[in-house]
Amino acid sequence: MKIQIDSKQKQAIMVLAVVILVGVIGFSSGKKSGLQQGRNESVNKIAELNKVVSIFVPPMPNEIFQASGEIKLLSTSANTIDLEIISLQERRLPGVEPKKEIKKVIVSSGTEIIKIDFSNLANPVKSKEVPPGPKEIKIQFSDLRVGDKISVTSMENIKDKESFKAARIVTQDNKSLPIYPRIKN
């Protein structure tokens, strides 16, 4: 059984096919145009937000000479410390966990290593005199331990360096921190 199509039906089918083809092409290009417009709006919005963020959270400085962090590895044979610090490359945004990085600290014979001792502080509740400040005690490289929190100062810009020479290392004796009683009003 053959179906016969006359010329008017053929024209109608051709017109319908062309309309469908034009509709698909139009929809596709409109979708691409909409996506591109959305991307452009997103980029502009992000640029605006970055301007606002830079007002409240300034970018990292170009030169950094000090870093604080936790000792992850001590090499007594090479006199080096692997120090885990918050990234010196990225700005720190509130509510965002900062990225961390490891810097290799080179300790030389000229590096001053200090431990801050708080044990000589007077209790301000019992004494009305001005208490003496904490003591700085010189210690050796061998006195440092993995897990110690230290602050390292260098004479060179350490921002882009993987390793750097320490001029001064400071740690504190947390066991000697005084515990003051709470005062009720």
Cβ neighbours for 144, distance < 8 A, ≥ 6 positions apart: 71, 74, 81, 113, 150, 169, 171
CATH code, 66-176: 2.40.50.320
For tokens 């066991």, what's the residue? 175
Q: Does residue 6 have a pLDDT over 70?
A: yes
Return the closest-CA partner of residue 81 out of 112, 109, 102, 67.
Answer: 102
Residue 178: per-residue pLDDT = 53
pLDDT in tens, 109-159: 999 999 998 777 656 556 666 667 788 899 999 999 999 999 999 999 999
